[in-house]
Amino acid sequence: MNGAVREHRRVMEEHLGRKLLTNEIVHHVNGDRTDNQIENLVVMDRGAHSKKHFRLHEYRNRLKIENQELKAQLRMVKQNIRAMCNN
Ligand SMILES: [Zn+2]
């Protein structure tokens, strides 16, 4: 592990005034792992943390599919507009 990875743990330990336990994970609320401001950090136990990331992963996949569907619809709308303009 490099220094950057440990930084968020150091910030949280300073905030709590104690060492973190090995099963305590510091999660970045806004998803930006370089943002180690205390407002962006929250302590979670290991299990809750991996569950959260699994949900985020699923959510991102759903958004990807939705985005593809919307792009396909947009293409159709554009084609329809083009066809109407050519009449
Ligand atoms: Zn996390």
Q: Which two tokens stand for residue 15?
A: 């905030």
Q: Which residue has the tokens 């991102």?
A: 60
At 86, is the pLDDT very low, low, confident or very high (cuts 50, 70, 90)? confident
Amino acid at 67: N
**How many Cα atoms within 13 Å fall on the side-chain side of residue 69?**
6
Collapsing DSSP to helix, strand or coil, 79 comes out as helix
Quick: pLDDT tens for 3-49.
555 999 999 999 999 999 999 999 999 989 999 999 999 999 999 99
* CA of 65 relative to ligand 1 center, distance in Å: 23
- Residue 7: give the domain boundaries: 3-85
* CA of 62 relative to ligand 1 center, distance in Å: 19
Cα separation, 84 vs 86, whole angstroms? 5
* CA of 77 relative to ligand 1 center, distance in Å: 39
Q: What is the count of structural domains for the chain? A: 1
DSSP run (H or E) holding 33: none
